[in-house]
């Protein structure tokens, strides 16, 4: 399968795209025709500047400059294809949570009903399930704040948060006269993207709902469990990818590899020949050659189509269902702009405060001077006990998606369709 590549531009600061234009020139032009094209481009940019200033000065209400710039960038990228887009810091954090499948929260899958939050189901072995929260419970208050009036995403955001922090919920339960109040302590929640059961006594049914960082490990675990449960009478596997909107390219490759011994799984190509990449299977079919059926439908997109297509092309599986969505592109996340550093000051014991700052290179006599503003001196204290190490805690939070910085490694080959679809009418927190 050959895939085209589009792009998601990511910013941790307003106006970051302007930094890209200044710091990352993409080409050197030669000849009169190239100079003419450049001149025309700058005329168009001048036009944009004129429109921007006119809106700022004459629009009926004073606009937010940063929102104007972000809207202009979003419009430019949305004109490229249906999937290229601009992501601000919050959008990036939300995408990180979804692709990692791991976050600080309560472990409840919820939906919005009549302006209130309804529990679809608690996730096993999480604070919510341990506290006895049940499917169909209605959450009316979060930390003494009314839920009514909040969007689903706003409510989910309030329920998520750093591990070991508390939140109080007020719940209405059918058949119980009085509201139930419960205080939960947030924990590290892993979203199960793979579920399985035994079908008709001798078939292993595996449902993959999305492709996040937990998917391949979840698949391996479920295949092993099914093999142990069914034993020698195992006839084969059904892999259900219906309404799976996609996710991480790497997970699609490794999931496909779990059923293949050899052969190309997927190819991607960009504008330049050197951007072409081919991913192939490695020896080791986890199902030991058992027959495989893949279920797809019109909601199966991107990563789902890579898996279905690879297994079909190598005659490893039979596809059953209806035509898939037809998405043929992979998004690459490109960080832009500032916000590249996260400063963390440690809590230094009083008796050590005079001895824990390093003077730095710029304080040395005769040092080689650099361009720009030179700074010297920085805290050098590292707490001996890891639980007191604030920098280590921030690093943990960044990698768990609880906090965000533009330097946090973005997931490679992310499919934005997964982010778009999973935040619609139902969400986990």
Active site residues: 302, 313, 327
**Closest residue by Cα to residue 187 from 248, 126, 269:** 126
* Residue 190, CB-side half-sphere exposure with 13 Å CA sphere: 9
Hunting for tokens 């030179």 — which residue is that?
374
Q: Which residues contact 359 (CB under 8 A, 6 or more apart)?
A: 376, 377
**Closest residue by Cα to residue 169 from 146, 136, 135, 191:** 146
Query: Residue 116 — φ and ψ, nearest 5°?
Result: -120, 160
Distances (CA, A) of 422 to 90, 94, 299, 354, 409: 16, 11, 12, 52, 22
Would you list the DSSP string of 80-134? T-SS-EEE-HHHHHHHHHHHHTEEEE--EEEEEETTEEEEEEEPTTSHHHHTT--
Ramachandran sector of residue 130 (left: φ over 0; alpha: ψ -120 to 50; beta: rest): alpha
Q: State the DSSP code for 167.
A: E
Contact (CB, 8 A) for 367 and 43: no
Ramachandran sector of residue 175 (left: φ over 0; alpha: ψ -120 to 50; beta: rest): left
**Whole-angstrom Cα distance, residue 350 to residue 354?**
8
Q: State the DSSP code for 135.
A: T
């Amino acid at each position: 399968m050959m895939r085209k590549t589009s792009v998601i531009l990511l910013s941790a600061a307003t106006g970051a795209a302007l930094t890209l234009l200044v710091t990352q020139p993409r080409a050197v032009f030669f000849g009169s025709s190239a100079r003419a094209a450049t001149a025309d481009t700058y005329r168009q940019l001048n036009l944009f500047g004129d429109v921007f200033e006119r809106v700022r000065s004459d629009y009926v209400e004073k606009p937010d400059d940063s929102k104007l710039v972000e809207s202009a960038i979003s419009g430019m990228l949305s004109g490229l294809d249906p999937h290229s887009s601009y992501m601000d810091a919050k959008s990036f954090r939300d995408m990180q949570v979804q692709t990692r499948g791991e976050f600080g929260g309560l472990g409840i899958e919820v939906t919005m009903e009549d302006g209130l939050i309804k529990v679809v189901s608690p996730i096993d072995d999480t604070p919510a399930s341990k506290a006895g929260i049940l499917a169909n419970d209605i959450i009316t208050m979060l930390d003494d704040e009314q839920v009514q009036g909040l969007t689903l995403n706003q409510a989910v955001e309030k329920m998520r948060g750093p591990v070991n922090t508390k939140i109080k919920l007020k719940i209405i339960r059918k058949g119980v006269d009085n509201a139930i109040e419960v205080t939960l302590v947030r924990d590290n929640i892993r979203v199960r993207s793979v579920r399985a059961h035994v079908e008709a006594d001798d078939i292993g049914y595996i449902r993959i709902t999305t492709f996040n960082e937990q998917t391949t490990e979840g698949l391996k675990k479920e295949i092993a469990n099914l093999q142990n449960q069914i034993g020698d009478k195992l006839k084969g596997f059904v892999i259900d990818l219906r309404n799976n909107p996609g996710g991480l390219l790497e997970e699609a490759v490794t999931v496909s590899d779990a059923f293949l011994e050899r052969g190309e799984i997927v190819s991607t190509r960009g504008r330049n020949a050197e951007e072409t990449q081919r991913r192939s299977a490695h020896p080791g079919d986890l199902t030991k050659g058992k027959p495989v059926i893949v279920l797809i439908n019109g909601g199966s997109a991107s990563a789902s189509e890579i898996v279905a297509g690879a297994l079909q092309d190598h005659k490893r599986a039979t596809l059953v269902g209806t035509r898939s969505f037809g998405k043929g592109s992979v998004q690459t996340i490109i960080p832009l702009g500032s916000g590249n550093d996260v400063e963390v000051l440690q809590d230094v014991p009083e008796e050590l405060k005079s001895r824990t700052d390093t003077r730095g290179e710029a304080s040395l006599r005769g040092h080689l001077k650099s361009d720009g503003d030179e700074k010297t001196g920085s805290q050098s204290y590292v707490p001996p006990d890891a639980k007191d190490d604030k920098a280590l805690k921030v690093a943990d939070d960044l990698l768990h998606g609880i906090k965000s910085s533009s330097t946090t490694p973005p997931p490679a080959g992310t499919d934005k369709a997964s982010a778009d679809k999973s935040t619609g009418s139902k969400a986990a927190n």
